[in-house]
Structure formats: C-alpha cells, structure tokens
Amino acid sequence: MGKFDGKVIIITGAAGGIGKVTAKKLAAEGANLALVDLKLDAVKQVIAELALDDSRAIALQANVAKEEEVKAYVDATVNHFGKIDGFFNNAGVEGITANVEDYPTDTFELVLNVNVKGSFFGLKYVVPVMKKQGYGSIVNTASGAGLIGSPGFVGYNSSKHAVIGMTRVVALEAAPHGVRVNAVAPGVINTRMMRQIEKNTVPQDEEGAKKAFSAAVPMGRYGEPEEVANVVLFLLSDDASYVSQSIYTVDGGQINQ
C-alpha cells in the first residue's frame, strides 16, 4: 500500500527537475497523476519512464500564463479522474541576471506572467474543485528568493515574493473548506534552472559561480531535486493534515542564517 494510493495529483512544470522527481516519487506511492508542462513530448516521456498507462497518468500541455489553458488542464483532470486530491503548483522560469536599470521590461513581464499569473490561475481553478470536495492539499513552489533580496534578480525575486503572498492569502480563504495551502521555498538546487543562473551570473566561469553559490550555503552544497520532492510529498500527504499557510525552506540553512 502506498501513501497516495488512489489519490489524484496535478503537477505543473512536470518535465522539469523538481517536477519530474516529484512525479516519480508520487507514482511510487500509488498516486494517479495529471502531468502538465509547456512541452508535451517531454511530459509524455516522463510518463513513459514511469511505465504508467492512462488509468494512472495523463499528459497535458499548457502555458500556465494563459488562463484558458490552465482552466483546460484542471477540467481535463476532473473529467478523467473525477477529483483532485493534491496540486503541486510548480511551473516557473528564472529570467535573467541584471540590475533593475538594465532589466528588460519584456523579460520582467514574462517572469511575472509565468510565476505569478501561472500560480494564480492554478489556484483560481483548483481551489473551487477542492472546496466542493471538502478537502485537498496545494503546494506552491516559491523560492528562498521570495524571502530575501538578491541583486540582479528583480524579476524572479519579485515573482516569488508574490507566490508567498498568494499562499498565505489563499490558505486562509480555503481553510474553512478543509483545503490546505502551503509552499516550498527551495534554495540552490541542482537543476537546469541553476545551470542557467550560473551561466547568467558569471558567463565566463560557470563552475566558479557554482562554487560561490555552494559556499554561501551553511551545508556547503547544492540541494538535490529529491530533497525538495520529499518535502512536497509530506505537505501533500495526510501526515501534514494540520499544516497550512506554511512556507517550508529547503535550502541547507541559507536563508535564515
């Protein structure tokens, strides 16, 4: 018996580092999955790797910054599985590294569209399903960047501060209906996103950038996607039945040092 036997979980950004590992861990615990990503072939590959048929998993393509596409993935999940037990509201982009005066307006808008509007639309359409059911758990992907200022990251930091704000508001709105809303706030995690941030930060010395980022962490290393996924699974599970409006940092002690 798995901890998530028969439970239906939506994951956005499901083909990315943290999303993919979380999907694997949930599948191993018996969950049925609606995997959402901008790249449909990539998410189909995840399902193939998990060896799940359509009774256990469906692949859904969506640009989370577009409201109609978010509504479509939520409707498709309910139509296929009949319910939504959990939602990992995870899709996001990092933008570029530049001081505010040099930060392109179109890049700022892109980051906010995906990270803020994408998270908002997910909540807007998943929460009513869960309220009607009288239960459900939502985990938003924030970031340690949503708790501090990081020079050069005005787009990303602003967006993740907003995700934390949404988490706190919606948790209070949903609590009377048996719906829990929390967030994970990863630090430097060994994923494609950090490869891009390293490249953006020190284009001529990406390995040096990685060493510098690692040195800023009290534990002295990057985290692994599995270490974030473990916290996500806890928050989605009944083990966290009295946990809501919480922001879980997964950062090796970096933010609160």
Mention every residue, 6+ apart, whose C-beta is less than 8 A from residue 66.
Answer: 121
What Rg, from alpha-carbon coordinates, does the chain have? 17
Catalytic residue, candidates 73, 103, 125, 156 = 156
Three-class secondary structure of residue 212 per DSSP: helix
Residue 125 annotated in active site: no
Rounded to an integer, what distance in angstroms lies between the CA atom of residue 192 and that of residue 197? 9
* Cβ pair 106, 53 in contact under 8 A: no
Q: What does the alpha-carbon distance between residue 190 and residue 192 come to, in Å, rounded to a whole number?
A: 7
152 in Cβ contact with 109 (< 8 Å):
no
DSSP collapsed to 3 states, 19-88: HHHHHHHHHHCCCEEEEEECCHHHHHHHHHHHCCCCCCEEEEECCCCCHHHHHHHHHHHHHHHCCCCEEE
Residue-wise over 190-215: b if at least 16 C-beta within 10 A, else e?
Answer: bbebbebbbebbbeeebeebbeebee
Catalytic center residues: 156
